[in-house]
Structure 1
Amino acid sequence: MKKLAAWGVFFVVAGWAASVLAVPAHRSLTYHGGDSGPVIFQGKTHRQGCSECHRAGIFPVMRQGSETITMKKIDEGAQCGACHNGQQAFSSEGNCTRCHQTGEKR
């Protein structure tokens, strides 16, 4: 019985930990990024909780590929631009290679 309870606690804690971070620090998501090259969303640099970005007006659905990310939307302050505005995080304007990987080693 104690073993079963211990496993129950483990799964509750593991589920909670997974829901706290949008992408765990050891993981990353890669988006195609169009002609500018792929964008790698790294968990180690995006440590906020899921609800910080997954809400109305930013990324309402928590599934990669559910929304088309565009520079037009970002420049208008939506999607990534909600944070990457030069105040909360570096501005997307003029900083293309900070997100778009061009194949060059940095």
Structure 2
Amino acid sequence: MNPPFRSSVPLEDQIAAETEGGRDALRIWREIWRNMTGEQRIEKAFRLTEEVRQVMRAGIRSRHPHASEDEIQLLYVNQLLAAHGTSLEEIRTKQKEEQSR
């Protein structure tokens, strides 16, 4: 099986290249980023990560409006793990196999 095609051009550049406004926004963002201190970059990364988590959870809630918070958490974790090619069930199965050795 062939690995998926990966462009050498970063995704944000591909998206930004579609419009002049996108190219301008990316240029400005990169200038702002270059002028940030390391501490500011880390703080921004943590804030953006938290915003992504909130958006992911909101999406899960909209698709599963009757799910409990525990169910939302389980779906969220599985969504994160799926991005890495695994699932909570697969991890638990591997753990059981290792414990039985």
Is TM-score (shorter-chain normalized) higher than 0.5? no
Greater per-residue helix proportion: 2
Q: Which has the larger radius of gyration?
A: 2
Report 1 or 2 for greater relative contact order, CA contacts < 8 Å, sequence distance ≥ 6: 1
**TM-score, scaled relative to structure 2:** 0.30
